[in-house]
Chains A and B, each alone.
Chain A
């Protein structure tokens, strides 16, 4: 056969497979506001950089007449490319082929690209759109999932792993995203659950829609399983690309540096925080007043809003921010906010990203539900994560830092490298009202005017302890600073921490309070 003919034959074979599940199935996919697997990859990667592998892989199932069926590329597309020049390994499940169901060869394609990503030390992006296990393939399908979960786990903290949920992701399949660093969801498209509405209805008699059970909003606002929420696939891809600019290729590198820029002057750091510690403000404005170009990339924006986490740049370098949000639930620490902060601190530590903590919290949220939900164990995660992190840790106490909250939020005692406090800082064992009620109980009770006496004692306590100078006198904070000096001091602190080197005791791994 002449070469031209062989090339034509290859082209024909390719064209056939590239059609995935065929035109009808593609139309169905589009009607749901979804793109096809290959279109998604193209939208995500830099133009003309996608190289696809395993195009001609077919399933190997024999039972249930599967041997008579052809499943192009076995329902998953794998390959490599770049995002803003950064190398990326990617896979995308193709819902048009057997509902993107996961069989043995499908899983082997995924694990092939995962192995590749780990070996080359490049980020992995997985686009999930699958009905779940391919029932006809039985235990081989389960084996496939297990192989994926294992690789997710051993790659964790070595290469960035990103999961994008662009369709159903149900049953065992949900555990791959759950093991990765960041999960992206899209409104009305993403659906994640262990057992679906039908099973719940049959077994338990409870009726619920897929959206209400495990839609994008549920995972962004209630469960905390998703880190980024988008209205459309386009917006989702923009978020992923933006994230890639903030993170390194792997754990032995640092994130790419950008040209530094001054914060937007509309965020006036002297005017954001009210002096009265019981009044709210948006701590994100303080972050924007500190970081390059006021360009803040928030993570888990809709979950546990009393804690703000995200990336910004300081002098061009990616920096992780952990900040109490007085605007929401007074910025208290609770089960969800502790979990949110602790995981992010560990992310930053894994990938060489310095951490800046902005502190303004009244303490832990009281309540039976919190205690019974295990706030002790979850709160301990924050202590663990800060203590364990060896990246540069800088802390600014803006206002309140009471009790256990003071210790937990990146204090000197957990080995923060630099701790600054504004003159508005109140570093104390608890709020003045609570403290005065305990310390001066006798005086207040025996007074002819208990309310007047209480007020007087509260004022006394405030004057003596509700300030940063007691902590400063012990060296627990390094400097009391004017708000306007914050950016300069943090930039300097990060710069001189560049070669920070901490040796921790040798161990296999610790036991964080999971």
Chain B
């Protein structure tokens, strides 16, 4: 039998297997459920407009921001009734995908 290097352990159905672990598997991110009160950019782009202020009460369906991306003005719409806790960006900011834009409480 050959000796193999860089072996880790993988658990499948409670059985532990000695094997090499792929980079992709090792670096996978743990799942986090989405929080409707935290708004992140779903696409990289530029903040064209911000329609709300910190402390303002907003209701479901209200427009929060316009994110310009791929030649399209994407309107970010509030999905719940809440109060604006903080705004992490300003008009004209370029944001990458997943950037925190706004938090509600």
Interface residues of A (CB under 8 A from B): 203-206, 271-272, 274, 278-282, 285, 305-306, 326-332, 362-363, 365-369, 402, 430-434, 437
Contact = CB atoms under 8 A, between A and B. Distances in A.
* Residue of A203, A329, A332, A367 contacting most chain B CB atoms (<10 Å): A329
Contact of A432 (B2, B15, B96): B15
Contacts of A363: 12-13
A432 B15 CA distance: 8
Contacts of A331: 19
A211 B15 CA distance: 39
B34 interface: no
Contacts of B51: none
A367 B2 contact: no
Contacts of A305: 20, 22
A328 B22 contact: yes
Given A204-B44, A306-B22, A327-B20, A368 B13 contact: no
Contacts of A368: 31
Contact of B18 (A279, A365, A402): A279
Nearest to A437: B14
Given A205-B44, A274-B1, A328-B19, 16 more contacts: A204-B69, A205-B96, A271-B1, A278-B17, A279-B18, A280-B17, A280-B18, A281-B2, A305-B22, A327-B19, A327-B20, A328-B22, A330-B19, A367-B28, A430-B13, A434-B15
Interface of B: 1-2, 4, 7, 10, 12-22, 25, 28-29, 31, 44-45, 69-70, 94, 96-97
Contacts of A271: 1
Given A204-B45, A205-B96, A274-B1, A329 B16 contact: no
A362 B12 contact: yes
A306 B15 CA distance: 17
Given A205-B96, A328-B20, A282 B2 contact: yes
24 contacts: A204-B45, A205-B44, A205-B96, A278-B17, A281-B1, A285-B2, A327-B4, A328-B19, A328-B20, A328-B22, A329-B10, A329-B25, A330-B10, A330-B17, A330-B19, A363-B13, A367-B28, A369-B28, A369-B29, A402-B13, A433-B14, A434-B13, A434-B14, A437-B14
A175 to B, nearest CB: 20
Nearest to B7: A280
Contacts of A365: 12, 25
Nearest to B16: A278
Contacts of B16: 278
Given A205-B94, A206-B44, A363-B12, A326 B19 contact: yes
Contacts of B20: 280, 305, 327-329
Dominant SS among interface residues on chain B: loop
A329 B14 contact: no
Contacts of B19: 280, 326-331
Contacts of A330: 10, 12, 17, 19
Nearest to A362: B12
B17 A326 contact: yes
A431 B13 contact: yes
Contacts of A274: 1
Closest 3 CB pairs of A and B: A434-B13, A330-B17, A204-B44
Contacts of B44: 203-206
A368 to B, nearest CB: 4
A167 to B, nearest CB: 28
Contact of B22 (A329, A433, A437): A329
B61 to A, nearest CB: 28
A204 B46 CA distance: 9
Contacts of B17: 278, 280, 326, 330, 362
Nearest to B17: A330
A326 B18 CA distance: 9
A379 B36 CA distance: 32
Contacts of B21: 329
Contacts of B96: 204-206
Contacts of A205: 44, 94, 96
A366 B14 contact: no
B19 to A, nearest CB: 4
Contacts of A332: 10, 12
A327 B14 CA distance: 18
Contact of A278 (B15, B29, B70): B15
A12 B17 CA distance: 69
B6 to A, nearest CB: 10
Contacts of B45: 204
A328 B2 CA distance: 15
Contacts of A366: 12
A285 B25 CA distance: 25
Contact of B15 (A327, A369, A431): A431
* Residue of A274, A278, A432 contacting most chain B CB atoms (<10 Å): A278
A433 B28 CA distance: 26
Nearest to A276: B18
A280 B4 contact: yes
Nearest to B94: A205
Contacts of A437: 14
